[in-house]
C-alpha cells in the first residue's frame, strides 16, 4: 500500500489515504503512452523515410511488339537486334510475316509473307543477308536495302513477258504461211497443204491437186521439215 498526502482548503489540513500499488503502476504507464517523447516520433519518421528510399520503384514493363517477340522466340537475337530485323523486313516489303527455322541451314530462317518466301540469314546473333527468289534484298555488308519484293516481282514478270514474246516470234517464223489470196504461188521452193503433212516441189502432180485455199509455201526444205511435214513419195523433194 502507498500513502498519499492530500491537502484540502486553506487551513493546511492534510490527510493520508491508502492507494493500491497496482493503481500507481497503471497511472504511470498511461502517462508514458500519452506523453510520448518528441525524439521517439522523430526517430519513427526517419525510419519510415529510410524504408521508402530503400524500396525500389517498380517501372512499368515495356510491352514488346508481337513481330519483335516472334523473332526473339524463333532466334537467339536480343530485343534490339530483333527490332532491327523487323524494320529491315518491313523496308523489304514484308510488313506482315511469320518466321520459321529453315531446314537447309541452322543459321537461315524462312520469312513467309503474302504467299512469298524470303530467306533470312544470321551471322551469330546479328542479321545477315535477306534474299528473295535468289536476289539480295538487304545486303549486310553495305547495311542497306538494295531491292524490295515488288522490285524483284516486277523484274521477273518483265523477263517472263520478254521470253513469251520471243517464243511467239520464233514460232511465227517457223510456221508455214497459208496463201490468203487464193492464188497459188509456184515460184517457191516447196509447197504443202494445210490438210496434209506432206510437202512437194511446186511442179509435182500431187501439189497441183492442193486446193488454193489450203496452199502452204516453204522457203526451204528445213522449214518444211521443222513444221512437221514429210517429203512427198512422188516427187521426193
Structure confidence by residue, pLDDT tens digits, 174-203: 555 544 444 444 445 899 999 999 999 998
Give the helix/strand (H/E) hosting 41. Answer: helix 38-54
- Under a CB-based contact definition with an 8 Å cutoff, are residues 204 and 233 in contact? no
| Phi, psi (rounded to 5 degrees) for 176 | -70, 155
For 88-132, the pLDDT digits (tens) are 999 999 999 999 998 877 789 999 999 999 999 998 788 999 999
> pTM score > 0.85 for this model?
no
| CA 237 – CA 234 distance, rounded (Å) | 9
Residue 166: which pLDDT band, with cuts at 50, 70 and 90? confident
Residue 225, burial from CB neighbour count under 10 angstroms (0-12, 13-18, 19+): middle
- Structure confidence at residue 88 (pLDDT): 95
Q: How far is CA 208 from the centre of its chain?
A: 69
| Confidence (pLDDT) at 218 | 92
- Is 2's pLDDT higher than 50? no
Bridge partners of 13? 8
pLDDT of residue 53: 66
Amino acid at each position: 500500500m502507498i500513502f498519499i498526502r492530500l491537502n484540502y482548503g486553506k487551513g493546511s489540513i492534510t490527510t493520508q489515504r491508502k492507494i493500491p500499488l497496482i493503481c500507481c503502476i497503471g497511472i504511470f504507464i498511461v502517462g508514458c503512452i500519452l506523453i510520448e517523447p518528441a525524439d521517439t516520433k522523430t526517430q519513427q519518421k526517419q525510419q519510415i523515410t529510410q524504408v521508402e528510399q530503400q524500396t525500389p520503384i517498380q517501372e512499368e514493363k515495356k510491352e514488346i511488339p508481337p513481330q519483335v517477340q516472334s523473332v526473339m522466340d524463333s532466334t537467339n537475337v536480343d530485343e534490339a537486334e530483333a527490332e532491327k530485323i523487323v524494320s529491315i523486313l518491313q523496308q523489304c516489303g514484308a510488313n506482315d510475316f511469320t518466321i520459321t527455322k529453315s531446314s537447309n541451314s541452322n543459321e537461315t530462317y524462312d520469312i513467309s509473307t503474302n504467299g512469298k518466301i524470303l530467306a533470312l540469314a544470321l551471322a551469330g546473333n546479328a542479321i545477315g543477308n535477306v534474299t528473295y527468289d535468289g536476289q539480295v534484298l538487304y545486303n549486310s555488308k553495305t547495311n542497306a536495302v538494295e531491292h524490295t519484293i515488288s522490285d524483284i516481282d516486277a523484274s521477273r514478270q518483265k523477263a517472263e513477258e520478254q521470253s513469251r514474246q520471243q517464243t511467239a516470234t520464233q514460232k511465227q517464223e517457223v510456221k508455214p504461211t497459208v496463201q490468203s489470196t487464193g492464188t497459188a504461188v509456184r515460184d517457191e521452193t516447196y509447197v504443202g497443204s494445210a490438210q496434209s503433212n506432206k510437202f512437194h516441189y511446186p511442179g509435182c502432180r500431187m501439189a497441183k491437186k492442193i486446193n488454193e485455199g489450203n496452199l502452204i509455201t516453204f522457203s526451204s526444205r528445213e522449214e518444211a521439215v521443222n513444221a512437221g511435214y514429210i517429203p512427198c513419195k512422188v516427187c521426193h523433194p
